[in-house]
Amino acid sequence: MTAAAVTARAPAKINLSLRVGPLRPDGYHTLATVFHAVHLDDQVTVTPVDGDAVTVAVSDEHGDPVPGVPVDESNLAVRAALRLREAAGLSGAGVHLAVRKVIPVAGGMAGGSADAAASLVACAELWDTGSSREHLASLAAMLGADVPFALRGGCAVGTGRGEHLEPLSMRAALHWVLAWSDTGLSTPSVFGALDRLRAGRPVPPPQIDQRLVTALERGLVGAVGMLVDNDLEEAALDLRPELATTLAAGRQAGARVGLVSGSGPTLVFLVDAQRASRVARAVAREPGVAGVRHVTGPAPGAALVA
């Protein structure tokens, strides 16, 4: 082992475009998405312990417990540590994971995937596994569709279930106001609602609008605002109709566009930097909004914290 404790961080993501194909026989949907990492990070600090147990504790940025996050082997950060330990052929390598949550829980921003990516990076350093980034990415893909992107960061087109990534270069930083809810949304329930709403409709294979890719690569922020979309928004609003009022408030306050992030219920508003405060104040007044934050992207992927 190389250190008594190691900390890594990983970013939240926004889906600038999320196209959802028809339900597959295996119960999943084929996706085409544009991932965008933003400067809103969870941190995972790993500390060696005697024996072979992998334990986890989760707190918010103030040190208070975070409800709704599992603290057993179903926790994605724990699963990441176990997967890496198995791949490295280690025995007796017990570890405690202290997760500091900033990314909203069940908010559509892949906070659990960020924790898993940070856990992989931190444990690889702690255990001195010598794992290449490519090896960590292969382990990430086994853990969940969003984990490879949390490891990579930046901006990328994702296909399959989101795990196949094609990096994009961005010419301009994007400013966002995030508004998260006091209660989360279950991703399976949102996909289920989408299937129900689509019943009887033809669903084409998912495809990203190449105009959005071009706008991102050329730094055309105005065009980006006109081209972002999310097939899951209809389902999220069906389950949580009050979100539509908050979306309208942000747009009226000067946001270029507002949309549901992933499966929701976190809402994201693309703003000009000088209008961020006004938009944040407007959406913070809406019922059910638990917090707001101004962030920028793209952000780098999972990395050690010095």
Task: Give catalytic residue positions.
Answer: 13, 146
**Cβ atoms < 10 Å from Cβ of 160:** 13
Cα separations (Å) of 294 from 57, 161, 224, 266, 284?
Answer: 27, 29, 18, 13, 12
**Cβ atoms < 10 Å from Cβ of 9:** 23
Coil, strand or helix: which one is 261? Answer: coil
Structure tokens at 210: 């190449």
Residues found in the chain = 306
DSSP state of 127: T
Among 242, 40, 41, 261, residue whose Cα is nearest residue 270: 261
Strands 289-297, 174-181: pairing is: antiparallel
